[in-house]
Homo-oligomer: A and B are copies of this chain.
Amino acid sequence: MLNQSDPLNAVFRALAEPTRRAIVLQLSRGRASVSDLAAPLDLSLAAVVQHVQALEESGLVRTQKLGRVRSCELNSEALGLAEQWLSQRRLQWEAHFDRLGAVLAEDAPGSSSE
């Protein structure tokens, strides 16, 4: 049932850090270099490189070396994997509530099923 190598482990772990979410937010507006990503963040370039590496290892970001510049791009598939897992849990939870509501309505006095 449990999978220690499930890609969601790394995706959710990467998203738990606010700087990394800020980088994902920046990249959701389009491709950027590591220097572009560092500009609005109050961090050293080395720290930003480390966060980008963690995002790359999680699969959320793809990078490509173009000459001396490392260009970063969001991988919407990894993002979609996490989103889908959450939406499935929410839908399952809502379906449970709908069933519960139907059962309660059936049991209520004056119900049409009597």
Question: Footprint of B on A, CB under 8 Å?
Answer: 1-4, 6, 8-10, 12-13, 15-19, 21-22, 24-25, 27-30, 40-41, 74, 76, 79-80, 82-83, 85-90, 92-94, 96, 100
Protomer copies:
2
Residue of B nearest to A27 (CB): B93
CA distance A32 to B12 in the complex (A): 24
Residue of B nearest to A100 (CB): B30
Which chain B positions have C-beta within 8 A of A87?
A: 83
Residue of B nearest to A5 (CB): B18
CB distance from A50 to the nearest CB of B (A): 15
List 14 A–B pairs whose Cβ atoms lie within 8 Å, in order of A's numbering. A1-B41, A2-B19, A3-B18, A8-B18, A9-B18, A12-B15, A12-B16, A13-B13, A21-B85, A27-B93, A29-B96, A76-B93, A80-B90, A82-B86
